[in-house]
Amino acid sequence: MSKRVLCLLGPGFEEIETLTPVDLLRRAGVEVVMASITGETWVTGRCHITIRADATLAEVANQSFDLLFIPGGPGVKGLRADGRPAQLARQFVQAGKPVAAICAAPTVLADAGLLEGRRFTAHFSVHTELPATLAQERVVVDGPIITSRGAGTALDFGLELVRQLEGDAAAQEVAKAIMC
């Protein structure tokens, strides 16, 4: 049975940070459900690229997933205001499931109280909103929390998500296939 990832989409999502990890996960055979938090299936990103979500969050909220993925970008403000992403993040961690956030999205994890006492990274623009000094690595894994810095680290981040769900061999195979 393939692993399942829930990827949250809101208006203003960062396209590279969303689509690169989703693409890599799907290449590895992971089912990724991109769910819109707005109730609309069409969602426009920060660079005005509009994509169709696979579902709305309401449609999949009660389904089982192995990992929660929260992309960054200016749309994170809407995710934070909504509240459901932070609530989902807490539920995933309480269930022993990983939560991944890139760029500004670790602020959602901070809102959920999940970053205290952990190593993490994020985009420099949100460091004052976070509870500790940012780690300087491109991707940081601390227990169930996986964080990354921004669009320029999306490939590393996506490969780490593959590694977390499918193992080193799968991540190496995907990296080789894309000539990474």
Whether 133 has a pLDDT exceeding 90, the answer reads no
Q: What is the mean pLDDT of residues 61-74?
A: 97
Share of residues in the chain with pLDDT > 90 (%)? 97
Q: Is the pLDDT of residue 34 over 90?
A: yes
Give the tens place of pLDDT for each residue, 87-102: 999 999 999 999 999 9
Summarised one tens digit per residue, pLDDT across range 5-31 is 999 999 999 999 999 999 999 999 999
1 has a pLDDT exceeding 80: no
Torsion of CA 80, 14, 157, 34, to 10 degrees: 70
Q: What is the arithmetic mean of pLDDT over 151-173?
A: 98
Looking at the chain, how many residues does it have?
180
Instruction: Tokens for 99, please give them.
Output: 């939560």
SS3 of the chain: the string is CCCEEEEEECCCCCHHHHHHHHHHHHHCCCEEEEEECCCCCEEECCCCCEEECCEEHHHHCCCCCCEEEECCCCCHHHHHHHCHHHHHHHHHHHCCCCEEEECCCHHHHHHCCCCCCCCCCCCHHHHHHCCCCCCCCCEEEECCEEEECCHHHHHHHHHHHHHHHHCHHHHHHHHHHCCC
Confidence bin at 60 (pLDDT 50/70/90): very high
- Residue 166: per-residue pLDDT: 98
| Predicted confidence band of residue 132 (pLDDT cuts 50, 70, 90) | confident
Work out the angle between the directed axes of helices 15-27 and 154-166 (0-180°, nearest 10).
30
Residue among 7, 47, 103, 180 flagged as catalytic? 103
Output the six-digit token pair for 48: 């005005």
| pLDDT exceeds cutoff 90 at 125 | yes
| pLDDT in the model for residue 177 | 97
CATH 3.40.50.880 fits 4-177, yes or no: yes
Residue 71 has pLDDT above 90, yes or no: yes
47 is catalytic: no
